[in-house]
């Protein structure tokens, strides 16, 4: 009896394997190279690694299999792309704009927020929120960037007795505070739960990576029964409580200040993003859940990405003393002996610093890979990739292509001088993604980074502790290491 059952099982597996291999999708996918796989289960087993090891493997598979390679298992499949021409085909055309797996993991947390939504909802929200990041709004946010730069300098001053500082939590808290105040009109000092919010979202990141690298995620109903799913649910509850609190406060404040009248009197007033959403709620174009989804999205996407970018940049500049001197010289040319606060015009003069920020985002893109779920076949690198496939864009490796960036590991800001970018395919540099679904906060992020970095380097000399070669990256939604990142700060007035 058992033997018969085993025989039937084998037969079913053979039929399934033959079906998956020889149907249209199987035939197309078989032409795309990839690591060795087993029938039906594909690469599921070899993907079961630690997130450090997986990060390394993904990089080495690119070296082995080149411009287009695949991973698959059960009903899921993904291809990985690197070539700017392939990236352009995917990102430029709005037909391929769809976010599916793995962004669907984020739905429990971010709902229909801009990062994960699709179709009409995405379109309507993108249009609704774009004015909050118009240059007029940015100029207003600039004062908040300056105020938080000063707070950051004070925090560092209070920690100078330490030999060196872990800049990861420092940048996270600063970035979150700036995001709360600019986009949500909330002062973070009022929020006692900032640390637990940050912890919860970092743990949520771990849950999502677990989902990516464990076979159970492939079968959603199994996943729902797992411990990770229960943990994820409770973390999401903590995070939602934090954002609900911010929204309620803002609603209350607006009601108390009779915001309706103010709005009519000050048509030119620049509003934080949350006020735009609350106004839209009054018009009936978005509901309470929609508002919370966007607040969750912006709080996460807006603070974590910038904090990451600043962290790696500070570490790298500390390790590049000559480049740091050149940034300081540029600041001396702008400020001379004065200790005045910077202006928006000063920022436009910081051309060398801007090249350094770009070079840092090349080497350490906060979003190391992005993905689309294609709903129509696409031809990439001469191969037809069937619809319903995930296409992963590996920004980290695209930015390290030696044909585009000779000696790619070297930090060379002059790569971004206008004369040196002539003829470079714009899709070979995509820290903010590209095309219609690019980063809505790109200009905001650049302005914030310039303000913070110039303030920091003007007051302190950054000295190396963690070195670029010490970094061990892990697979996560945002570029992270499995260890702290330390830097020493020396007040310039104490330097010989
Ligand atoms: C250095 C800082 C930043 C980097 C490197 C960055 C990078 C990116 C990237 C690569 C994407 C595309 C993601 C994808 O397609 O999967 C993206 C999307 C997005 N970013 Fe940023 N970002 C940064 C800062 C910000 C800031 C400050 C905000 C908010 C103020 C923001 C809000 C968003 C939103 C809402 C999306 C989704 C846009 C859409 O799908 O329409 N980002 N960002």
Query: Which residues are near ligand 1 (CB < 6 Å)?
Result: 114-115, 126, 183, 297-298, 301-302, 305-306, 309, 366-367, 370, 431-433, 437, 439-441, 444-445
Q: Are 435 and 92 in contact (CB under 8 A)?
A: yes
Question: SS3 for 266?
Answer: coil
Q: Are 409 and 382 in contact (CB under 8 A)?
A: no
pTM of the model: 0.93
E strand map for 84-221:
165-166
Mean pLDDT by 10 residues, the chain (496 residues): 88 88 94 93 86 92 96 91 97 94 88 94 93 82 94 95 94 92 78 76 80 59 66 88 88 72 50 87 91 93 95 98 98 92 95 98 97 96 96 97 97 97 96 96 96 97 98 93 97 80
| Model pLDDT, residue 254 | 81
Pocket test for ligand 1, best of 134, 439, 451, 477 (most atoms within 8 A of CB): 439
CA dihedral (103, 79, 393, 380) positive or negative = negative
Task: Kindly give, in sequence order, each residue whose CB lies less than 8 Å from that of residue 424, ignoring residues fewer than 6 positions away.
Answer: 404
Q: Are 44 and 218 in contact (CB under 8 A)?
A: yes
- Ligand 1, atom 7, residue with closest C-alpha: 432
> Bridge partners of 463?
488
| Model pLDDT, residue 222 | 61
Ligand 1 center–CA 303 separation, angstroms: 10
Ligand 1 center–CA 491 separation, angstroms: 33
Cα-only R_g, the chain: 24
Cα 231 from Cα 259, distance rounded (Å): 39
CA dihedral (10, 12, 15, 17) positive or negative = negative
């Amino acid at each position: 009896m058992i033997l018969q059952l085993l025989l039937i099982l084998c037969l079913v597996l053979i039929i399934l394997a033959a079906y998956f291999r020889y149907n249209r999708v199987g035939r197309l996918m078989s032409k795309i190279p990839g690591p060795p796989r087993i029938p039906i289960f594909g690469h599921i087993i070899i993907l079961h690694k630690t997130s450090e090891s997986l990060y390394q493997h993904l990089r080495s598979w690119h070296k082995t299999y080149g411009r287009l390679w695949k991973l698959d298992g059960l009903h899921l499949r993904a291809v990985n792309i690197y070539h700017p021409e392939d990236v352009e085909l995917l990102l430029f055309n709005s037909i391929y704009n769809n976010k599916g797996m793995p962004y669907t993991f984020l739905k429990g947390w971010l709902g229909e927020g801009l990062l994960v939504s699709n179709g009409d909802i995405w379109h309507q929200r993108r249009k609704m929120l774009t004015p909050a990041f118009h240059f007029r709004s940015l100029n207003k946010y600039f004062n908040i960037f300056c105020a938080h730069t000063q707070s950051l300098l004070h925090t560092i001053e209070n920690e100078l007795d330490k030999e060196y500082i872990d800049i990861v939590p420092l940048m996270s808290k600063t970035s979150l505070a700036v995001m709360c105040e600019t986009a949500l009109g909330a002062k973070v000092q009022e929020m006692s739960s900032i640390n637990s919010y940050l912890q919860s979202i970092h743990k949520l990141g771990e849950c999502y990576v677990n989902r990516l690298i464990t076979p159970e995620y492939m079968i959603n109903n199994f996943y729902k029964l797992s411990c990770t799913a229960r943990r994820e649910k409770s973390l999401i509850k903590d995070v939602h409580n934090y954002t609900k609190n911010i929204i309620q406060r803002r609603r209350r404040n607006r009601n108390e200040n009779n915001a309706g009248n103010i709005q009519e009197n000050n048509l030119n007033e620049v509003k934080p993003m949350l006020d735009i959403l609350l106004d839209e709620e009054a018009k009936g174009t978005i509901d309470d859940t929609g508002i919370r989804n966007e607040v969750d999205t912006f709080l996460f996407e807006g603070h974590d990405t910038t904090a990451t970018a600043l962290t790696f940049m500070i570490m790298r500049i500390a390790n590049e003393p000559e480049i740091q001197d050149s940034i300081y010289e540029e600041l001396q040319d702008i400020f001379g002996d004065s200790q005045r606060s910077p202006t928006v015009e000063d920022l436009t003069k910081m051309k060398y610093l801007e090249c350094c920020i770009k070079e840092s985002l090349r080497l350490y893109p906060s979003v190391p890979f992005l993905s689309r779920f294609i709903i129509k076949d696409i031809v990439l690198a001469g191969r037809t990739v069937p619809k319903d496939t995930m296409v992963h864009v590996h920004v980290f490796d695209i930015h390290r292509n030696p044909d585009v960036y000779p000696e790619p590991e070297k930090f060379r800001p002059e790569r971004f001088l206008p004369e040196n970018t002539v003829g470079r395919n714009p899709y070979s540099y995509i820290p903010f993604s590209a095309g219609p679904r690019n980063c809505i906060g790109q200009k905001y992020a650049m302005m914030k980074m310039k303000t913070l970095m110039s303030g920091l380097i003007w007051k302190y000399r950054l000295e190396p502790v963690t070195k670029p070669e010490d970094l061990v990256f892990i697979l996560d939604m945002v570029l992270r290491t499995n260890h702290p990142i330390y830097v020493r700060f020396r007040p310039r007035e104490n330097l010989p």
